[in-house]
Structure 1
């Protein structure tokens, strides 16, 4: 059994991969940003974080639209677009951990950041395990999300946060319930419709089209 086969046999990958869905993570990020916005010295942090996430969404969506609508991908690395799940996980989980768990010490900041990065990486691996993305697409998503996190940390200021108690409780309840109960994400269907409308094509390009075209060029 090779590594990928072993991944597929592990339990709970389908549930774990949902922790990267936009419908689950974006409300968490928005509520956290709103709470940050009303903290002294954190307004700029909240605005920058939301702005960079919006830019990351545009980059991710553009890469998917370019492939689905026009077939613009890279067969040599099996790349059809940036993984949205990996991007959302890497741009949101590290900041959530820093916001709620870091405290006032550098050691606490490092631990919280490592925990958030580890969770993002786990979500990325889950996309491989469920067969949704290639390694190149997951790595691209993690890098885009990591760029968001790095930029936000660069503009953040030290100082403890005094979050209303309902904020972490609401987020904990949301993250505990929604992966198992919420309807499956419709974001890919939306991106596909946008790509077809923009390109004027009736049928979307697929990974099989990309790889088949590459094989034909080689032969």
Structure 2
């Protein structure tokens, strides 16, 4: 499948880019997408949540009052969860949220996500570009020229470009990554996916295995 290559002014360069049908035109597997997105979101959790339980509270273990005859509920030490400053009942503990997912499933999920975006005509191919200095206004002009200024966009570069990354960092609706950082979640979370020519080779090399 061939698509037109645009420049950063949104005009056709006259060149065509070849998109592999094995990557951008497969029957999407929605369950694979679900599993990969679920794993990605789970891995964003640090799992460092912790609350002190009764045994970890520093305080007296003396019984506050006698068991019977007071007319009120029986009570143990001041560390009891029913008192202010006492331990928490079944409080959160540190936990590892990482999930294992087969590499073939992850690869299928990314290809499925790209195929969905391709069928929705949400993929644009642009020529490789550089920015002389990090400047948000210049980057906004590029997005406007490509017609995606008001969309949540994902720009995929072939290699790390610090100026382009810094120029996009203040824009909440735009994200710049390299082809090696491409994930199913980032693809599905974007309304428009912009691929540079340099990124195409890396994507197909990773997903055509």
Q: Scaled by the length of structure 1, what TM-score is found?
A: 0.21
Larger Rg: 2
Q: From the two aligned structures, give the one with the greater strand fraction.
A: 2
Q: From the two aligned structures, give the one with the greater helix fraction.
A: 1
